[in-house]
Amino acid sequence: MSKTFIILAAGMGVRADSKSLNCPKVLLKAANGQSLLVNILEKIRQSHPAGTPVRVVAGFLHQQVVEEVNAYCALNPLARIDVVYNEIYERGVITSLYHGIRDVNSDVVILNGDTYYPDGLFSNLTGMMRSSLLVLPPDDQPDSVRVLTAGNWIAQVGKRLPVSQYISTGCLFLNRRYTRLTEGLLLDLIERDAFAGMIWHNLINLLIQKGKKIAFKLIDTGKIFEIDTKEDYQSFLQDMPNNTNESQGIF
């Protein structure tokens, strides 16, 4: 069964000053002129069959996201990309995740929209059957989502775990059985208004609490940049290579 990619792209990006820039974080551009969003779309196109379904969940300045996707699709007519508008995006990322996964009847891949993913990362998803989080060796960044494991499985995730073995890449694969369960769990949170302050990775903890197992896969496919702040963006511009191995920007 094919996968559906869900790109979370609705947030205001307060610490990245997106409001002053009048630009959603996912449309911030790399040194080669390619936006974070187009980088993700290109990496999906390069690693998966033409027509693989993609849902981009937009909120803040969503019309700009629509225009970026339309321009990309005009140059890539086989692309199958839907922009889903989350009208309650200001309530938190859990609402965006619910909008993205609602009524999906396939395996899904959940992605941070504000992250630069390197070549080869999504090829790690090929043939994957078990619900799994792609992870990296630990670092000392305060915004990293830490991953505590037990044997072959994840025990807990969170930004404030005192002990952890890995950090998240922001790329989670859920098989179809877990997709349907996830939709119900998220809807319950929203209806009870019980998700204040949650990052979307809390979904993993909820599934574990329900007795479900989430595996992890350590990857080594180049540097990943998650852009949370203005300083992150400046570091990204300085550190990301702009060479012929990178896909060229189209905007």
- 221: pLDDT confidence band, cut at 50, 70 and 90? confident
- Residue 164: the pLDDT is 96
How does DSSP assign 9-41, residue by residue? E----TTTTHHHHTS-GGG-B-TTS-BHHHHHH
Please indicate, yes or no, if residue 8 is contained in any of the structural domains. Answer: yes
Q: How many domains does the chain have?
A: 1
Ramachandran region of residue 171, left (φ > 0), alpha (ψ -120 to 50) or beta? Answer: beta
Please indicate, yes or no, if residue 250 is contained in any of the structural domains. Answer: no
Strands (E), the chain: 3-9, 53-58, 80-85, 107-112, 115-116, 132-136, 146-150, 153-158, 166-174, 215-218, 225-226
Mean pLDDT, the chain, rounded, equals 91
Please indicate, yes or no, if residue 26 is contained in any of the structural domains. Answer: yes
Identity of the residue numbered 136: L
**Residue 149 or residue 17, greater confidence:** 149
The tens digit of pLDDT for each residue in 2-40 reads 899 999 999 886 665 666 778 899 999 987 889 999 999
Please indicate, yes or no, if residue 77 is contained in any of the structural domains. Answer: yes
208 token code pair = 């574990």
CB 171 within 8 A of CB 110: yes
**Count of Cβ atoms closer than 10 Å to residue 71 Cβ:** 13
Question: Would the pLDDT of 227 be above 70?
Answer: yes
111 token code pair = 């992605």
- Residue 76: the pLDDT is 97
CB 135 within 8 A of CB 169: yes
The tens digit of pLDDT for each residue in 159-206 reads 999 999 999 999 999 999 999 999 999 999 999 999 999 999 999 999
Please indicate, yes or no, if residue 244 is contained in any of the structural domains. Answer: no
What are phi and psi for residue 109, nearest 5 degrees?
Answer: -125, 120
- 141: pLDDT confidence band, cut at 50, 70 and 90? confident
How far CA 244 is from CA of 37, 178, 189, in Å, comes to: 19, 39, 45
Question: Would the pLDDT of 244 be above 70?
Answer: no
Residue 168's domain comprises: 3-239
- Residue 187: the pLDDT is 97
Please indicate, yes or no, if residue 22 is contained in any of the structural domains. Answer: yes
Please indicate, yes or no, if residue 149 is contained in any of the structural domains. Answer: yes
- Residue 115: the pLDDT is 94
Return the SS3 of 174.
strand
- Residue 15: the pLDDT is 64
Please indicate, yes or no, if residue 245 is contained in any of the structural domains. Answer: no
| CATH code for the domain in which residue 25 is found | 3.90.550.10
Is the dihedral angle over the CA atoms 125, 126, 130, 136 positive or is it negative? negative
- 1: pLDDT confidence band, cut at 50, 70 and 90? low
CA distance 165 to 129: 23
Torsion angle defined by CA atoms of residues 127, 130, 131 and 133, in that order, rounded to the nearest 10 degrees: -70
How far CA 22 is from CA of 13, 17, 28, 162, in Å, comes to: 11, 9, 10, 37
Question: Would the pLDDT of 250 be above 60?
Answer: no
Question: Would the pLDDT of 122 be above 60?
Answer: yes
Angle, helix 93-101 to helix 176-192, in steps of 10 degrees: 140
